[in-house]
Structure 1
Amino acid sequence: MSFKSEPALKVHKVDKHGLGGKKLDLNGRDVHMLSQHARQQLSNAGVLRPSPGPFRVRSRGSQATPPPAAIPSVGGPEEMAQANKICEQMMRLVLQTDVFIRHDGKMKCSGIEWTRISVAKQITIVDMFDGICNLPKKLQYSEYVPPPLTFNKDYQCRYPVADFKLSPEQNDAQPALKIVAIYCSKVVLENNNLEAVKIAAVDVVTCRILMNHLVCTDSKNLVKDWCTESTGLNGYQDIEAARQDGYKVLKGWTAARTAMWNFIDRDTIIVGHSVRSDLDCLRMIHGRAVDVAKTFENAAKKELLPKQQLSLESLCRDLPAIKLTTHPSFGRDALQNAFAARELGLWMLKYPEKLEKTAKAKAAEFRRFAPVSQA
């Protein structure tokens, strides 16, 4: 074959013998260009590398980035099918963050790797969480989940009693999820009540992201403190700007609660950090819950602990060794915190002896250095 010019020859070499001017990597990223028969031959010869790559849910406006290097696949067909399914479900949320569902037992979201549970173990995990609920079984369907003793003084909110409702009863026509991790970022109103301005929820069993939305409280409510460092908000104008940028905004706590009830019922175990505060600002009566802060407190034999030791950041740092991040402009990521509560719950189930040892050590340390008035 002849070419009339040197540039034409170069174009031919690129088109016929390479990709973007580079040699095709038929053992790696360009393996999809081979026929099934050719791939099978390479695989039989031990030449073809497995390259599953992660499932990815791309954020709005994000640019495609190359996938990480090939990783060993420890998931079977069931894990692959489940990853595909939750990817499809999460795409509908139009998430503002990148999500990678990997095949090595991890899920990357908010820049942090979170544990996935194999399909074979997902049935048992429900019973395990059931065993560490903070209320006795007979009280779980009628009472409020109790707050951690350390945070008792912070529970000074006075919401109208008539606003509160029990979670929905079981509906066989629309089965709820078994375990859901939640987190709410809140502002302080003039009457000192807390109202949610961000809400996130995650299916603990599958890692499926259920909610990651802003919540616009009634503009008639005067906000005393927007808690900008954690919420990333300075006023109602920020919520409106986010809505115009494509973020999902729920209209008040009633809409947030209704959205939550699409996934849960009275039998759902809700996992969170200081979860009573989150449930109160949603006006939910739900006693079937695991508060990871209270679970840590119980492991310390209900001894007094400093608030800093029981913060979500400290627990994540001291137990699963995860460093949570705060964005300088957008504050704390509610979705990150929901995943963090989930991760803490899984860690506490897996390492009960380490949990008790660490909790007792923290309590003993506090006794040594606490002021006499607190001892």
Structure 2
Amino acid sequence: MALNENPSLANQAVSAKKIKCLRCKKDTFKSALGLAKHQDALGHHHFICPTCKKEFGTEKGRDDHKRSHNRRPMPKNDCTAFPIRGPVTQHEQQQTNQLQVQQQPQETPTSVAQRVEHLALAFSQSSGTTLDGYTGSNWFPGGLLNEVRLYCNGNFFMTLTPVEQDLVHANLITRCHSTARLQKQGYTMPNSTEANKVYPRKSTVPRYYFRGTPKPSLLQRRRAVVIDCEMVQVQRWRRDLAFLSAVDFLTGEVLINNYVQPTGKVTDWTTKISGITPAAMAEAVASGQALNGWQSAREALFNYVDAQTILIGHSLNSDLDVLGIYHTRVVDSVIVASEAVFGSFSSFNRLYSLKTLSEEFLNLQIQPENQSHVCLEDTFATRDVVLCFVQNPERLIAWGGIAKARYDAEQAQREARRRQKKEIKARTAAKQQQAAAEQPLAPREPTSQSGVYQGFSDIDEYGGCDGDSETLRWSDVAEACGWPHPDTGYDPLSD
């Protein structure tokens, strides 16, 4: 640090005090310039309190001193208008309250809206998401928000205290689905990977590329992570990963929120659903903000999860398929909601969308009509839906009963419509048969066709077939046309 950059050093050269380094306590400097050179060489710069300009040797000492400014009591006026202490105390308290009210700026709706907009902009531009550490002097007044929230795409989401995080994690462990349920819902399990090597599913990553989450190690991983993926369609109607969002389920911290460069040639960007465009992907790749393929995305996720981490998602099996991951500690919002409706051991006749669950449990509007999905917003919505399931199990049970009654009523109406259509069709067929029976049949003309086409002579003019006619076999047609006989393999065209 140069001498002209720290005015306090110049003041020390004029004063009669010893020139001393506050970091190492060395006081043998002959001038402030010597101290400045010492500080530049060893990094022993002073830390100055911005309030009172006092210097400290360590940053911790300066921070402790700054906090002492906030703990100083409010000034009180000495009052002598009362002969006894009781009224004096009450009067001083009233004056103190009035002084505090006068010192607080009056809040206006405009200033509140400006602060909300400012926080939203700062939040969207930062890499983190939690606002728990916000220490600005301006904050929401009482009544606007009853707690600090997470913000994304115009919506606010829940935060948890450390105690609540421990309780929620304990409840999440009991909510993990059984292996049988996961397999029934299409999850890829480790014991099914070998079978899928022979017939890999074409729609996602081939099964021989699948990996399990890392084994627990000394590295501290996250206890619970919620993820969501956006996909595009590549050659041969396969789905490929194009965007990955991962959020710490307990703290709300954004871990990953990146484009993922597809590994194949994209045939359909599915922009109306995913929101992924070729221009946005190209810009992310050019700026180095995109992960290089689904395997890089999987490795990035493995930096935060291991085999003990609870993975949360909405239809999480689809996300794990495009990431090439099998995992057994899973809480799927689709499964939790469907089990509340149809039972824990029953098949699911209906699966509920994230948009429906967000509206019914959170009164939250996501995925508006004619607009594409926002991956990070869907991730936060899934998190809040599962939090609502865990923290309000009675509400989930009540909703399940109402949803089951609604489903049964819809099924009854659908069955009634199906029965009505069947009856109408039967009456129409009966009328057609009656009309056909009343009309005299025209005599048939002898057919001139022979050989392989004789089988068609049994089709009457009304499109019906004689039940006693011989069934025409494709092998007879093929043999008559000169193709190899299916039994002997003889090819008449080979001569």
Partner of 2:255: 210
Structure 1 position 116, deviation (Å): 0.6
Structure 1 residues 191 and 67: CA distance shift in structure 2, 3 A: farther
Aligned mates of 1:212, 1:121 — CA distance in 2: 25
Question: Partner amino acid for 1:169?
Answer: K
Is the 8 Å Cα contact of residues 71 and 104 (structure 1) preserved in structure 2? no
Of the three residues 176, 182, 186, the one matched with 2:231 is: 186
Aligned mates of 1:287, 1:249 — CA distance in 2: 28
CA displacement, residues 168-188 of structure 1 (integer Å, 9 cap, x when unaligned): 00111x111000011001122
Partner of 2:28: none
Of the three residues 344, 348, 357, the one matched with 2:389 is: 348
Of the three residues 182, 206, 210, the one matched with 1:164 is: 210
Query: How many matched pairs?
Result: 291
2:174 matches 1:131: yes
Is the 8 Å Cα contact of residues 269 and 288 (structure 1) preserved in structure 2? yes
Partner of 1:315: 357
Structure 1 residues 367 and 190: CA distance shift in structure 2, 3 A: farther
Q: TM-score, normalised by structure 1?
A: 0.67
Is the 8 Å Cα contact of residues 305 and 362 (structure 1) preserved in structure 2? no
The higher relative CO (CA closer than 8 Å, separation ≥ 6) is in 1
Of the three residues 291, 296, 306, the one matched with 1:255 is: 296
Partner of 2:322: 281
Structure 1 position 304, deviation (Å): 4.0
Of the three residues 303, 325, 338, the one matched with 1:297 is: 338
Structure 1 position 209, deviation (Å): 0.7
Structure 1 position 348, deviation (Å): 0.3
Structure 1 residues 104 and 170: CA distance shift in structure 2, 3 A: same
Is the 8 Å Cα contact of residues 333 and 385 (structure 2) preserved in structure 1? yes
Aligned mates of 1:145, 1:306 — CA distance in 2: 14
Structure 1 position 322, deviation (Å): 1.1
Aligned mates of 2:309, 2:360 — CA distance in 1: 28
Question: Partner amino acid for 1:311?
Answer: S
Partner of 1:13: none
Q: Report which of the two has the higher share of strand.
A: 1
Let me know the Cα RMSD of the aligned residues. 3.7
SS, match of residue 267 in structure 1: coil
Is the 8 Å Cα contact of residues 259 and 290 (structure 2) preserved in structure 1? yes
Aligned mates of 1:71, 1:281 — CA distance in 2: 45
Question: Partner amino acid for 1:321?
Answer: N
Structure 1 position 119, deviation (Å): 1.2
Structure 1 residues 303 and 105: CA distance shift in structure 2, 3 A: farther
SS, match of residue 232 in structure 2: strand
CA displacement, residues 306-354 of structure 1 (integer Å, 9 cap, x when unaligned): 44xx11101100112111145967x311111111111011000122122
Question: Partner amino acid for 1:210?
Answer: L
Question: Partner amino acid for 1:36?
Answer: H
Larger radius of gyration: 2
Structure 1 position 253, deviation (Å): 0.4
Aligned mates of 2:215, 2:160 — CA distance in 1: 27
Question: Partner amino acid for 2:251?
Answer: T
Structure 1 residues 38 and 126: CA distance shift in structure 2, 3 A: closer
Which runs of 5 or more residues in structure 1 are unaligned? 1-34, 74-101, 149-154
Structure 1 residues 156 and 305: CA distance shift in structure 2, 3 A: farther
Partner of 1:122: 165
2:374 matches 1:333: yes
Aligned mates of 2:170, 2:254 — CA distance in 1: 22
Structure 1 position 58, deviation (Å): 4.1
Structure 1 residues 348 and 199: CA distance shift in structure 2, 3 A: same
Aligned mates of 2:178, 2:368 — CA distance in 1: 32
CA displacement, residues 259-311 of structure 1 (integer Å, 9 cap, x when unaligned): 0000000000001000010011000011111000111011111464444xx11
Aligned mates of 2:399, 2:202 — CA distance in 1: 30
Aligned mates of 1:374, 1:364 — CA distance in 2: 20
Structure 1 residues 49 and 125: CA distance shift in structure 2, 3 A: farther
CA displacement, residues 105-137 of structure 1 (integer Å, 9 cap, x when unaligned): 42222221111111122222111001111126x
Aligned mates of 1:286, 1:105 — CA distance in 2: 33
Is the 8 Å Cα contact of residues 124 and 152 (structure 2) preserved in structure 1? no
Aligned mates of 1:365, 1:187 — CA distance in 2: 35
Structure 1 position 229, deviation (Å): 1.2
Aligned mates of 1:259, 1:192 — CA distance in 2: 26
Aligned mates of 1:327, 1:299 — CA distance in 2: 28
